[in-house]
Amino acid sequence: MITLKHAELFRCDLRARMPFRYGIATMTWVPHVILRVTFEIDGTTHTGLAADNLPPKWFTKDPTRLLEDEVEEMLGVIRAAVSQARAIRGATAFAFWQELYEAQAAWARAEKLPPLLSNFGTSFVERALIDAVCRARGATLASALRENLFGVDLGALQPDLAGSTPRDWLPANPPTELFARHTVGLSDPLRAAEITPEDRVDDGLPQSLDACIRFYGLKHFKIKINGEAARDRDRLGRMAEILTEGCGDAFAFSLDGNESFRDVASFEGYFRDLLATPALRHLWPRLLYVEQPWHRSVALSPAIGELVRTWPDRPPIIIDESDAELASLPTALALGYAGTSHKNCKGVFKSVVNACILAQLRCDGQATVLSGEDLANVGPIGLLQDLAAQAALGVTSVERNGHHYFAGLGQFPEALQRHALTHHADLYVRASAGWPRLNIRHGKIALGSVNAAPFGVPGDIDFSACDRVELE
């Protein structure tokens, strides 16, 4: 039996080293919160952790809301999930999560909150629970999934998977490294010469796209577009030159549509225009997929299915923000999408089921995509847990941008920095300024220490220097 005994929430406000423009938002600072929960598991207590940014304008994308109100709303869904969890008695971690998911969903409906936002709170408790179970069982995330220590019942959520377990669909062994798919934000400088003296960052890390390619040896990229055809054509053309200069033919990329299209049919014309642009022809053989071009208000509408039936040569298109509920991926696949993304903030068990759905379809000969996406995720906990989940799911190209928009772990207390360097020497190195930075080599991130830890993060961490946030 599993019960929640105690929970604490800590906060660190992080300032970006340069603005991150994505969709309707430009991030210059973000609150980062860490949840520590103690569970009683079969009579003994074990503690688990979860951490994430509270990213403005992603869960709701409402341009009229104040950032402070959105932050408080995100804290509110975390508080609500913890409150719901206090009343749950779960026979397994999966059963505990199922009950929590339903309770949080009912609360959110009454509060008129969208599922993507409310499930963010659920995912915090879920991640801490997964961590606690892994620690209690002396297992890693990948081994716990293979041995089904969480009691995952695939058939309860997807009847076609009844009778199987995650072991039947997930990798026998998690990958030991993955590509860091570098984000090129809508306002990121492309060449170092473009950066004005007042905008130049002097912290020892690269800032422009060409400098990042040289510094990290990048090979995979995520390019953000905003649906303004002339601007996007020009910017993509400049990027095509830089990628060829820095990588030759050895690169791959995804396009992030940032929900820019509210008219379903307009994206086909926009994309065909890009395909016909001579300066971009070198790009398209290296396109991995297009991520969420349509606004969530239309992305799962019947009009999408009507469009894809008349567009057989479309690129692989996946959902991201529209992957808000358990039925989102099956709905998207029925409409003609190729898959979805994994982010820990959308839920780990949901992604486990999604990964199994997509693996089953691949066994039937259908091309599918499970991507790894990011929203400035940083260590010393959130990033590591996300990497552990990506590896357990078999994702080998993952958007990473937290290290690009934030100066390593320099804004976290010294104890958290020291923990990262001590336990993850393959993942972090000291930057010239002294703080730990992500160690991307030849465009890849090593996962040895992450895969060996319970849920990405081993040992105990001292949070005494972090600000506490009221949970009640």
The domain spans of the chain are 2-139, 167-461
SS3 content of the chain, % helix, strand, coil (to 5): 40, 20, 40
Region at 240 (left for phi over 0; alpha for psi -120 to 50; beta for the rest): alpha
Domain 167-461, CATH among 3.30.1510.10, 3.90.76.10, 3.40.1180.10, 3.20.20.120: 3.20.20.120
Condensed to tens digits (0 to 9), the pLDDT of residues 27-78 reads 889 999 999 999 999 999 999 999 999 988 888 777 777 778 899 999 999 9
Tell me the pLDDT band of 240, cut-offs 50, 70 and 90. Answer: very high
> How many helices (DSSP H) and strands (DSSP E) are in the chain?
15, 15
Instruction: Write down the pLDDT at residue 56.
Output: 80
Instruction: Write down the pLDDT at residue 68.
Output: 86
Instruction: Write down the pLDDT at residue 26.
Output: 83
Distances (CA, A) of 435 to 367, 409, 412, 428, 459: 42, 6, 9, 9, 20
Q: Are 49 and 381 in contact (CB under 8 A)?
A: yes
Residue scoring higher pLDDT (106 or 187): 106
Instruction: Write down the pLDDT at residue 63.
Output: 79
Question: Is 90 exceeded by the pLDDT of residue 447?
Answer: yes
Instruction: Write down the pLDDT at residue 472.
Output: 75
Tell me the pLDDT band of 221, cut-offs 50, 70 and 90. Answer: very high
Condensed to tens digits (0 to 9), the pLDDT of residues 283-300 reads 999 999 999 999 999 999
Residues 376-402 have a mean pLDDT of 96
Q: In this prediction, what percent of the chain has a pLDDT beyond 70?
A: 100
Question: Is 90 exceeded by the pLDDT of residue 3?
Answer: yes
Condensed to tens digits (0 to 9), the pLDDT of residues 144-197 reads 999 999 999 999 999 999 999 999 999 999 999 999 999 999 989 999 999 999
Tokens 């002396």, residue located? 138
Q: 242, 299, 311: which is closest to 270 by C-alpha?
A: 311
Tokens 């990329």, residue located? 253
Residues 392-417 have a mean pLDDT of 96
Question: For residues 350 and 154, what is the distance between their CA atoms, to the nearest angstrom?
Answer: 10
Residues 238-259 have a mean pLDDT of 97
Q: 120, 117, 182: which is closest to 402 by C-alpha?
A: 182
Strand order from edge to edge, sheet including 2-22: 44-53, 25-41, 2-22, 467-469
Instruction: Write down the pLDDT at residue 153.
Output: 98
Residue scoring higher pLDDT (186 or 89): 89
pLDDT, the chain, mean: 96
Question: Is 90 exceeded by the pLDDT of residue 204?
Answer: yes
Instruction: Write down the pLDDT at residue 398.
Output: 98
Condensed to tens digits (0 to 9), the pLDDT of residues 108-132 reads 999 999 999 999 999 999 999 999 9
Instruction: Write down the pLDDT at residue 59.
Output: 83
Q: 2-139 has which fold?
A: Enolase-like; domain 1 (3.30.390)
Question: For residues 264 and 294, what is the distance between their CA atoms, to the nearest angstrom?
Answer: 7
**Token pair of 265 as six digits:** 């049919």
Instruction: Write down the pLDDT at residue 376.
Output: 87
Instruction: Write down the pLDDT at residue 244.
Output: 97
Are 2-139 and 167-461 in the same CATH fold? no
